[in-house]
Chains A and B, each alone.
Chain A
Amino acid sequence: MSSAAEGAMTSHELASGGGPVPTGGVGRRVLGNASLVVGVVMTVALVAVAALSLVWTPADPNLAAPADRLLPAGSHGHLLGTDALGRDIASALMVGARTSITVAAGAALLGVVLGTISGLTAAAARPVVSESIMRGVDILLAMPGIVFALVLAATVGAGVGSTIFALTVFFVPSFTRVVRAAALRVLAEDYVTAAELYGRRKVFILARHVLPNIFSVLIVQFTLYFAAGILTEAGLSYLGVGVNRPAVSWGMLLKEAQDTVGVSGPLAIWPGLAIVFAVLGLNMLGDGLRDVLDPRLRKRSS
């Protein structure tokens, strides 16, 4: 019971993010961690913009208006100007935030779930099973994520679904490794031995003792892969094998800018800035969370 309660508390702390936290020690650690505070602020801003785009954007990002083409930033009604077809850049960036979040968070979530299943299996199963999972992971890690996306684009065609699938395949092996390593640490603890001696079944031990104790690892990894997913999705869409119109992606906007007006001008700058902002925020959030949730690691990495 106590370990389940611990798990619940951890998730409660996470849910409250930078807000008030019950215990003083953790509270001081949260507020004293610049990376976490900045990361939370940036990520909340990103999510807020994406959420806002669901109900309101300055204009339709797919609506071409030839009369208004290539307006500079600050033009009336177009905060960041327009592209070569007269489409509003600010609106496109807002909708792009939504695409980034959907694709990257979706893939990271699928990756966490599948990676947790295979990682726990690898940690607890018989050596034959565990060894074959880990060798399979080694092989999958040798496959560049971009390769899967290319194959999918050539066969089923590019799109949001293909991109999420490609990213998930790319994420699962590394998640499996991380989860297995974390689970092995927990499985070596005395209370697990006690539970085994008490006659608890493996599945019970994994669900009751291991999962709650590796929860913080999962959260941190989710955040970091969320960030990696945004980068990879942008790269794939930039190549034209990721997200396509009418969906809007930051990588796709950069490609369009380069195709129509070359690299010069603000068209190529805005989407890049947006990507850096989102990825930096999430990475700082992930690093901060790691420091706060796992003080042992803090000594090592800072």
Chain B
Amino acid sequence: MLVFLARRLAFFVMALITSSILIFALIRLAGGNVASVMLGKAAKPEAIAALSKELGLDRPLPVQYFDWAWGMLRGDLGISFRTREPATSLLLERLPVSVPLALAGMILALLIAVPVGTYAATKVGTPIGAFVAFTSQVGIAIPVFWAGVLLSLFFGVRLGWLPTGGWVPWSASPIDSIRSLALPVIALGLVMAATLSRYTRTAVLDVMNEDYVRTARASGMTKRGALLRVGVRNASLPLVTVVGLLAAELIGGTVIIEQVFSLPGLARMVLDQVQAREVIVVQSTVMIMVAFVLVVNLIVDILYGVLDPRVRVSR
């Protein structure tokens, strides 16, 4: 188990380093001179040179990279060159909106998808099974922002139960904060549940065809009993993997849904910075998002090892 953990950690660190180099290189290669991108097309050469000097952009690229990476490790994400605000504090202000939204969305998706997918797997070949399969097919086709729009049309505009957008800080009124998060969470959870329930259905179906489930059935267990007693742990393996893969999708979904409901989260911040061409802040924030996905994948890998002893040996 220790060797297994060490290997996963090593991969995690490698992935962090590689992706940071990738992001850094992409920005420098795609954008060309960062200072001139920031200042826009009409900028004078002297102004570009001055900003380059101030931000240290005139140094060799490897030096700039290590400076940036070392800053990230110490929690310094750089400063906005327009407002002079440190990006770290900008980011920290946004987390109380984005983190609960993403986590609650993920949990809701799991709460819907696992029972529905399992149920659909036991009903294969029946009209109910086909109906569930078709519903999740439609769900996958619905873009998360449209789900948000429809939900806010119905529950916000038509019924008036929940706010259609905006944000009340946790410190002002926690209940109103939860109310403003309700529709975004539901939209995010429903759309992700559609994908997840299909994976669940396939995973459970695979397990149901295995010999050990047949043996359990032959020894007199009901279909449901066999599934719950021996099937769930085995079916949870591919699912755990999918949750890891969905982490990347979760980030994308959260960014979009924040925009739909005008929540002042990470997404608004990044989009504002993109508009303002705050290249360095964008670079740092994007790296934080990737780091989040990598952390989720690390946890998933470790969970995998806990659930399945075979993985610990073979990897």
Contacts and interface: CB of A to CB of B under 8 A. Distances in A.
Interface stretch (B83-91, B92-100, B290-298): B290-298
Contacts of A76: none
B141 A279 contact: yes
A148 interface: yes
A151 B27 contact: yes
Contact of B141 (A143, A258, A275, A302): A275
B259 A272 contact: no
Given A142-B294, A263-B152, A135 B30 contact: no
A262 B165 CA distance: 11
Interface stretch (A25-33, A90-98, A102-110, A231-239): A231-239
Interface residues of A, number: 47
A144 B146 contact: no
B19 A143 contact: yes
A280 B26 CA distance: 34
A57 B22 CA distance: 43
A151 B141 contact: no
Given A151-B27, A268-B153, A272-B150, A235 B274 contact: no
Interface string B9-39: 0010011001100110011001110000100
Interface string B249-288: 1011001100110000001001101110111001100100
A80 interface: no
Contacts of B30: 151-152, 155-156
A275 B146 contact: yes
Interface string A126-163: 00000000011011011111111011111110000000
Nearest to A142: B293
Contacts of B26: 148, 151-152, 155
Contact of B146 (A232, A254, A301): A254
B141 A147 contact: no
B194 to A, nearest CB: 11
Interface in A164-223: none
B206 A300 contact: yes
Contacts of B283: 151
Contacts of B168: none
A227 interface: yes
A264 to B, nearest CB: 5
25 contacts: A142-B248, A143-B19, A143-B293, A144-B252, A151-B282, A151-B286, A153-B274, A155-B31, A155-B37, A235-B144, A235-B145, A238-B256, A240-B271, A240-B275, A241-B274, A254-B146, A264-B157, A271-B146, A272-B143, A275-B143, A275-B146, A276-B141, A300-B206, A301-B205, A302-B124
